[in-house]
């Protein structure tokens, strides 16, 4: 008995081990729970910070959207130098936190040193970039979004669409009435309507189609439906460049050939059917004013052969200044050729172009252009610009098709037609016609078309290579595809320099909507 009691007492003496074990387990559990709580707390804080950062960025974007809305209601809104206070983003309250935005204009880098703010008395000088350079005008605003005391800022740069933003622009994808015979129809300024029959007045001629073999290598804009003609084999026309995000803007497309296809950016990318409209000017008269003060003005038919930074100039009317074999560049880079006071005696038609060549057009505001150039220049005409030879930059002479370098840019702006010289008689190409010509220029035909003379006559002359911009009121044909074809196939390539620079005083659309060209997040004011 004594032994059993002794053993029992020993067991009772070791009962504290259980308590120690329980305390150890409790302590360990507490530590684990504490670590888990800390981890969850840190993760929650990090998640909340990320959420607030995302919401602050979205709030800053809301500020940009609100400013853009105001600007589209009133294109001159930027001139008011408006800033906003803290504005709550609608329906943004979350767990006691509300998102806010505020915006303010950013002074131009070219603003006067003593006026580093937007000034309603001088909004252009204090806000618009590019006023003192060759770059298209832009301005900037900064929008700041906040959420739960977390802030993010975005600077948005606004610009207006320009003809120079596109390698190809047309208002009407229809034949120019002047090219359809005499008397010319008067009702062709009509956009294609897929919901009506006929889709365009019958006297406006057959649709001018993009066909297999045509390449529009760059951004493109039309106010009209694009007609898609027959493919070459399996290949239809190509709009945009492979590897580029070139916009192709048009209300739609339609087929003029069974089974016709086209490719956008060499892929299945859709057209942009909601792009802002561009309204062309009605005259290039502002260029005459500029040429009269700092440039050259000629009267009657004028021939210009460019050569580096000088030119040969001959006129049909004797006694005019700034003519001869080595004329220096105009000071402001603008040349204008106007019609004589007696008027232009010829009415251009591509099918009778031979009758409009010299000397018939002596009194017309026509300018014939060819050669190579190393300085910026804009050549404008009261009537037509006729390209009668390769027009290249010195950096591309001998290697036509290569992208140009440097800052030299050429503008060709006609009130009427910009034409490619092509004499043709009895189905035979005449002396002086060009095979596979190259034209490095920004082209604008204000009231008519970019066109090839006698485009439906003679044997096909290869490919018309334009490196720059083609903008025209009506679609101008450059060849035909039936029966072996006449004229030229098209290879139009965008000059990317025109996205940020332009020929001297090149004309812009008369009314366009501002849009955000780019936006940049800034850690500090910028």
Provide CB contacts within 8 A for 315, sequence distance 6+: 298, 299, 300, 301, 302, 303, 323
CA distances from 491 to 99, 223, 434 (A): 51, 21, 15
Q: Which residue has the higher pLDDT, 3 or 407?
A: 407
Average pLDDT estimate for 381-394: 94
d(Cα 166, Cα 168) in Å, to the nearest integer?
5
Q: Where are the domains of the chain?
A: 52-160+514-522, 165-499
Strands 385-393 and 324-328, sheet pairing: unpaired
The predicted pLDDT at position 49 comes to 83
The predicted pLDDT at position 257 comes to 87
Asked if residue 133 has pLDDT above 50, the reply is no
The predicted pLDDT at position 371 comes to 96
Asked if residue 278 has pLDDT above 60, the reply is yes
Strand partners, 392: 372
Average pLDDT estimate for 6-11: 52
Q: What is the average pLDDT value for the chain, to the nearest integer? A: 86
Asked if residue 381 has pLDDT above 90, the reply is yes
Average pLDDT estimate for 297-319: 96
For tokens 């050549």, the residue is: 379
Q: Are 179 and 451 in contact (CB under 8 A)?
A: yes
Q: 111: pLDDT confidence band, cut at 50, 70 and 90?
A: confident
Provide CB contacts within 8 A for 453, sequence distance 6+: 350, 353, 386, 419, 420, 421, 422, 423, 424
Global pTM reads 0.76
Asked if residue 89 has pLDDT above 60, the reply is yes
For tokens 């009895």, the residue is: 426
Query: How far is it between the farthest Cα atoms of the chain?
Result: 149
Asked if residue 15 has pLDDT above 60, the reply is no
72-81, 281-290, 500-509, 512-521: least confidently modelled range: 512-521
Cα-based torsion angle of the residue sequence 498, 503, 505, 510 in order, rounded to the nearest 10 degrees: -40
d(Cα 13, Cα 79) in Å, to the nearest integer?
93
Q: Is 19 exposed, middle or buried (0-12, 13-18, 19+ CB in 10 A)?
A: exposed
pLDDT tens-digit profile of 134-185? 456 789 999 999 998 899 999 999 887 789 999 999 999 998 998 887 788 8
Average pLDDT estimate for 50-75: 90
Q: 296: pLDDT confidence band, cut at 50, 70 and 90?
A: very high
Average pLDDT estimate for 382-395: 92
The predicted pLDDT at position 214 comes to 85
Average pLDDT estimate for 307-314: 95
The DSSP output letter for 352 is G
Rg (CA), the chain: 34
What tokens were used for 469?
């911009």
Asked if residue 505 has pLDDT above 50, the reply is yes
The predicted pLDDT at position 430 comes to 93
The predicted pLDDT at position 274 comes to 85
For residue 367, the surrounding DSSP H or E stretch is strand 367-373
Q: Are 306 and 477 in contact (CB under 8 A)?
A: no
User: Sheet harboring 138-147: ordered strands across?
Assistant: 87-88, 100-106, 138-147, 150-159, 515-522
Q: Where are the alpha helices (DSSP H) in 212-339?
A: 285-291
d(Cα 163, Cα 450) in Å, to the nearest integer?
14
- Kindly report the length of the chain: 526
pLDDT tens-digit profile of 315-352? 999 999 999 999 999 999 999 999 999 999 998 989 88
Average pLDDT estimate for 242-258: 88
Asked if residue 221 has pLDDT above 60, the reply is yes
Average pLDDT estimate for 8-26: 65
What tokens were used for 15?
């009962």
What tokens were used for 318?
């004797």
The predicted pLDDT at position 134 comes to 45
Average pLDDT estimate for 402-424: 92
Most confident stretch, 280-289, 492-501, 514-523: 280-289
Nearest in space to 177 (alpha carbons), one of 161, 151, 160, 201? 201
What tokens were used for 100?
């806010």
The predicted pLDDT at position 154 comes to 95
Q: 5: pLDDT confidence band, cut at 50, 70 and 90?
A: low
Asked if residue 397 has pLDDT above 70, the reply is no
Q: 197: pLDDT confidence band, cut at 50, 70 and 90?
A: confident
Asked if residue 455 has pLDDT above 90, the reply is yes
Asked if residue 54 has pLDDT above 60, the reply is yes
- CA 415: distance to chain centroid? 22
Asked if residue 510 has pLDDT above 60, the reply is yes
């Amino acid at each position: 008995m004594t032994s059993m009691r002794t053993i029992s007492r020993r067991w009772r003496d070791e009962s504290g081990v259980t308590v120690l074990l329980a305390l150890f387990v409790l302590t360990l559990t507490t530590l684990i729970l504490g670590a888990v709580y800390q981890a969850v707390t840190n993760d929650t804080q990090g998640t909340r910070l990320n959420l607030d950062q995302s919401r602050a960025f979205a709030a800053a974007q809301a500020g940009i959207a609100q400013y853009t809305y105001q600007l589209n209601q009133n294109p001159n809104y930027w001139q008011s130098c408006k800033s906003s206070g803290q504005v709550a983003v609608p329906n943004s309250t979350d767990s006691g936190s509300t998102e806010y935005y505020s915006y303010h204009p950013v002074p131009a880098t070219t603003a006067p040193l003593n006026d580093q703010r937007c000034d309603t008395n001088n909004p252009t000088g204090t806000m618009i970039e590019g006023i003192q350079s060759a770059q298209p005008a832009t301005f900037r605003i900064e929008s700041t979004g906040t959420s739960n005391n977390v802030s993010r800022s975005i600077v948005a740069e606004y610009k207006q669409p320009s003809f120079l933003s596109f390698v190809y622009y047309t208002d009407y994808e229809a034949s120019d009435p002047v090219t359809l015979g005499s008397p010319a129809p008067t009702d062709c300024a009509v956009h294609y309507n897929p919901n009506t029959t006929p889709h365009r007045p019958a006297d406006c001629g057959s649709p001018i189609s993009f066909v297999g073999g045509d390449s529009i290598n760059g951004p493109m804009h039309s106010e009209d439906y694009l007609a898609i003609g027959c493919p070459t084999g399996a290949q239809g026309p190509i709009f945009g460049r492979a590897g580029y995000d070139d916009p192709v803007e048009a209300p739609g497309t339609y087929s003029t050939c069974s089974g016709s296809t086209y490719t956008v950016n060499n892929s299945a990318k859709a057209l942009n059917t909601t792009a802002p409209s561009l309204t062309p000017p009605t005259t290039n008269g502002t260029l005459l004013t500029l040429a009269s003060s700092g440039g050259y003005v000629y009267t009657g038919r004028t021939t210009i052969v460019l050569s580096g930074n000088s030119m040969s100039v001959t006129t049909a009317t004797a006694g005019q200044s700034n003519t001869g074999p080595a004329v220096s560049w105009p000071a402001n880079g603008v040349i204008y050729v106007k019609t004589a006071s007696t008027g232009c005696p010829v009415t251009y038609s591509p099918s009778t172009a031979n009758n409009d060549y010299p000397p018939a057009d002596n009194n017309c505001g026509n300018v014939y252009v060819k050669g190579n150039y190393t300085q910026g220049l804009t050549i404008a005409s009261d009537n037509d610009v006729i390209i009668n030879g390769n027009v290249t930059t010195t950096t591309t002479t001998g290697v036509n098709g290569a992208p140009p370098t440097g800052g030299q840019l050429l503008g060709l702006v006609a009130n009427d037609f910009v034409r490619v010289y092509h004499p043709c008689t009895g189905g035979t190409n005449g002396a002086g016609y060009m095979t596979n010509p190259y034209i490095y220029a920004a082209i604008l035909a204000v009231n008519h078309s970019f066109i090839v003379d006698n485009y439906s006559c003679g044997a096909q002359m290869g490919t018309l290579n334009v490196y720059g911009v083609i903008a025209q009121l009506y679609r101008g044909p450059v060849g035909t595809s039936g029966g072996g074809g006449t004229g030229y196939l098209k290879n139009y390539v965008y000059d990317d320099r025109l996205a940020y620079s332009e020929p001297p005083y090149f004309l812009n659309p008369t009314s366009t909507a501002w849009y955000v060209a780019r936006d940049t997040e800034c850690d500090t004011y910028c």
